[in-house]
Amino acid sequence: MIKTGDKLICTSGNDFYAEGHVYTVGDFVNDKFFEIPTGCNDEYWYATRDSSGICIHFDTMATKVRNAHFDKLNNQIYA
């Protein structure tokens, strides 16, 4: 289960999220989508968690930005 304030490590980054960087889960939009701030100018993208993991999908015809993937850090690793 993911909740606001949890720490996520980026495992596959892109122009907005750096691989290996730790991000903090923001507000939940609904039971499926939640915010992950980019760390720049209060910007964020909506992430989701499904059977393949935690991901922000950027697959659009207009951009060539890769999806960003994350893993949840447990408190013992991050502390």
- The verdict on residue 11 lying in a domain is yes
- The verdict on residue 60 lying in a domain is yes
Choose the weakest-confidence range: 15-19, 21-25, 60-64, 74-78. 74-78
- The verdict on residue 16 lying in a domain is yes
Q: Which residues, including other chains, have CB under 8 Å from residue 57's CB and lie 6 or more apart?
A: 48, 67
Identify which has the larger pLDDT, 25 or 42: 25
- The verdict on residue 1 lying in a domain is no
- Tell me what pLDDT residue 40 has: 86
Mean of pLDDT over the chain: 88
Number of separate domains in the chain? 1
- The verdict on residue 2 lying in a domain is no
Q: Which residues, including other chains, have CB under 8 Å from residue 1's CB and lie 6 or more apart?
A: none
**Domain membership of residue 22 as a residue range:** 7-78
Q: Residue 50 — pLDDT band, cuts 50, 70, 90?
A: confident
